A and B are shown apart, each in its own frame.
Chain A
Amino acid sequence: MNAIDVNNLEFGYKDNLVIKDISFSIKAGSFVSILGPNGSGKSTLLKTLNNLYNPNNGSIQLYGKDILSYKKRELAKKIALVPQDTNIEYEFTVEDIVMMGRHPYKNRFENENEIDHKIVNESLELTYTLNLKDRIINQISGGERQRAIIAKALAQKPAIILLDEPTSNLDINHQMDILNLLKKLNHENGLTVVLVIHDINLACRYSDEIILLHKGKILGIGAPEEVITVENMEDAYDMKVALEKNKYTDTIHLTPIEIKEKNKNFKNNKVHIICGGGSGQEIINKLYSEGFELSLGVLNIGDSDWEHGRNLNIPMVEEIPFSGISNQSYQENVEVMNKSDIIVISNVPIGSGNLKNLLGAKDALEKGKKVYYIAENSQEYDYTEGEAKKIIEEMLKKGMQSVRSVDELL
């Protein structure tokens, strides 16, 4: 069953729509993160889900019933919000604050009874804040306060909890602490968790589903692997990023590489890099962050430079693992080089297996392409009994430029 169904939702002011025609569903009992750059409408979407904002168009259904048909108090029994700013300047005790979560169940003339105290105690226990209950809310740490505010939300006995950047002011320990707590409530109590978060890696690690927003629209929705892709990140954040599977958590790990916007003027230069065995990493990184359009090849699948290129989503000419370059991939490589403006050769060790890369480069040089050779250190590279050295010297004569380092190249 769906906890939330959003249909063609639109919110904002006349010429400034914050949310543009959004539709999606959230399954009951799922853990969903809303991601997106600043100003993409994340918090606004979260607040419309709690009926804090009235949409211009479209509808939101909670458990199949239109959100507008819920009375305010009834809605507060179904859905709880943990706002971004949990700062409370007044000297309420933690227990007072959590007791406020019972408000939807009390009419104006009613006092809190045994049941309310029991539920408040349970909420405090679930969030490990029972020992803090007599402390003043503004005298406990940020992480403790966040847990207390979650306890207040739990005292509402909701089916859905919405959280607006619950980890944004916390250190890494407390960030995980809060997310572990939410995961526990999600697993053990069947609570549907919907949160807005900036940390993509944590979102991927904890969420069943991710909703990626960009300029008020959904750029991607689904499992983390489906949504967090290099292309989506580039579109949403204007960032070049590298994605890999984190070997400790076995979830997607994102490393931001460079902001895209800055380097618009470099975009036209296509650079093909001949590398392998890790010799290309520095070249790839530096040229990539300068904004050049890169291609690599020929690389054996599984090679460390191949893995690097895959994480950065760079197009590559591939060869099956541990084998020499076949004629087919050689041809492919030549074609790619024909489309490039510049070819860079790292000081990759050349053996019989990858000699064809050098030949391909020579071919390109003869066709008039600019070729650079990075002779980083006078390390021995020739494993072809002089053949490779001969080709390189020949190429140098024909106009290939030799540089000491990537920086010199730039």
Chain B
Amino acid sequence: MLIISLIFAIGLFTTIGTAKVSVLDIFKIIGSKVSFMEKYIDISDIADSSKTIIWNIRLPRVLLGALVGASLSMAGASFQGMFKNPMADPYVIGISSGAALGATLAIVFKLNIGIFNIPTITIFAFVGALLAVSLVYNIARIKNKVPVTTLLLAGVAVGQFLTAIMSFLMVIFDKDMVKITYWTLGSLSGKGWEPVLTIALPVIICMIVINFFARDLNILLTGEESAQSLGIDVEKTKTYILLLGTFITAISVSVSGIIGFVGLIIPHIVRLLIGPDHRILLPASALLGSIFMIFADTIARTLISPIEIPVGIITALFGGPFFIYLLRSKKKSI
């Protein structure tokens, strides 16, 4: 059902925008691009400008939003399970501050090292995120074990430290401050097909792999010792989940900036609605995350059109109160 809603949402939110195009036309335009359907769909009555807007601007943007929303939500869901901590989100172990510092460095020093047409900021953010997480991981590691509390605390400490460096750079290079702030608030605008095509395959593969750890995550919720006595290699499993979650989050952050709140609240909302079983929780979080993200992005680009609001503001603005409402009405502890 969520899959159908997602497809519908993609269509619906693609239509909404400054330029009006009907839903039917959108499916026609998309359909016409699929080779075997080409000859059955007549798009000659649709204006060329609409075709361009839909195909070259809105559709890739919506798809990117869907991918980013899905990755953040799934990473959040698996981190919350692994850490057994409701406050965990995809950024909790330093990804966001690492990425932000990386992006800041690229911006303030006007670096340009294009690899495969990928923007330098993206590359720096990605590398920054991975470096930050590996730093946190190594700080928290005691022999071959990584206690989750230490990991969380190390994440907070490293995060604060990196953010301080970033703030320092922002003060020194104050003319870049707006650009950096905009980047950290997250946005999906003006990316085209390039990032969608680059990230789609790795992100989707990682998400499928995370799903194979669903049962392990369930058992981890009952305690690490229980999990170990059921034959789970707890430390290895934690490392795999950490790697996969970090990877998809870092990819998302590097293309879209730090879009907050999605990875924290979507898993909670899904958990409140369908329970803690990760076999359903993980895919459902991904789908709901996608829908929520493209919904928030649609508002971001249309609310005070033609000015764009960073989508991170919208996710927090809508997500926060809705989550509080759910929390109060369900009266369950999370």
Contact = CB atoms under 8 A, between A and B. Distances in A.
Given A76-B231, A83-B223, A100-B218, 15 more contacts: A52-B228, A52-B229, A72-B231, A75-B231, A81-B225, A81-B229, A83-B229, A91-B275, A91-B276, A92-B276, A92-B277, A96-B218, A103-B232, A104-B231, A108-B215
Contacts of A75: 231
B231 A88 contact: no
B225 A72 contact: no
A234 B6 CA distance: 70
B230 interface: yes
A83 B232 contact: no
6 contacts: A72-B233, A76-B229, A83-B223, A90-B276, A96-B218, A109-B212
Contacts of A81: 225-226, 229
Contacts of A91: 275-276, 332
Contacts of A80: 229
Interface in B218-246: 218-219, 221-223, 225-226, 228-233
Which 5 A/B pairs are nearest by Cβ-Cβ distance? A76-B231, A73-B231, A81-B229, A90-B276, A104-B231
A83 B276 contact: no
A198 interface: no
A360 interface: no
Contacts of B332: 91
Given A96-B277, A103-B215, A108-B212, A90 B221 contact: yes
Interface of B: 84, 212-213, 215, 218-219, 221-223, 225-226, 228-233, 275-277, 332-333
Contact of A104 (B218, B230, B233, B277): B230
A101 interface: yes
Nearest to B228: A52
Interface in A74-118: 74-77, 79-81, 83, 85, 88-92, 96-97, 100-101, 103-104, 106, 108-109
Contacts of A108: 212-213, 215
A106 B215 contact: yes
Nearest to B218: A100
B203 to A, nearest CB: 21
A71 B213 CA distance: 19
B244 to A, nearest CB: 14
Contact of B222 (A74, A77, A100, A104): A100
Contacts of A133: none
A40 B276 CA distance: 37
Contacts of A89: 84, 221, 333
A326 to B, nearest CB: 63
A83 B277 contact: no
A92 B275 contact: yes
Given A90-B276, A106-B215, A83 B230 contact: no
A71 B333 CA distance: 38
A47 interface: yes
A156 interface: yes
A76 B230 contact: yes
Contacts of B229: 50, 52, 76, 79-81, 83
A89 B223 CA distance: 10
Contact of B230 (A92, A101, A109): A101
Most buried by A among B215, B219, B229, B333: B229
A399 B215 CA distance: 83
Contacts of A52: 225, 228-229
Contacts of B219: 100, 103
A123 to B, nearest CB: 14
A100 B220 CA distance: 10
A91 to B, nearest CB: 5
B166 to A, nearest CB: 35
Contacts of B84: 89
A304 to B, nearest CB: 50
Given A76-B230, A103-B232, A88 B225 contact: no
A52 B231 CA distance: 10
A156 B226 CA distance: 12
A47 B332 CA distance: 34
B277 A72 contact: no
B12 to A, nearest CB: 33
A88 B275 CA distance: 13
A45 to B, nearest CB: 14
A89 B81 CA distance: 12
Contacts of B228: 50, 52, 72
A47 B225 contact: yes
A103 B231 contact: yes
Nearest to B272: A91
B230 A88 contact: no
Most chain A CB inside 10 Å of its own CB: which residue of B84, B215, B230, B233? B230
Nearest to B224: A52
A75 B218 CA distance: 20
Nearest to B279: A111
A190 B178 CA distance: 72
A97 B215 CA distance: 11
B222 A97 contact: yes
Contacts of A101: 230
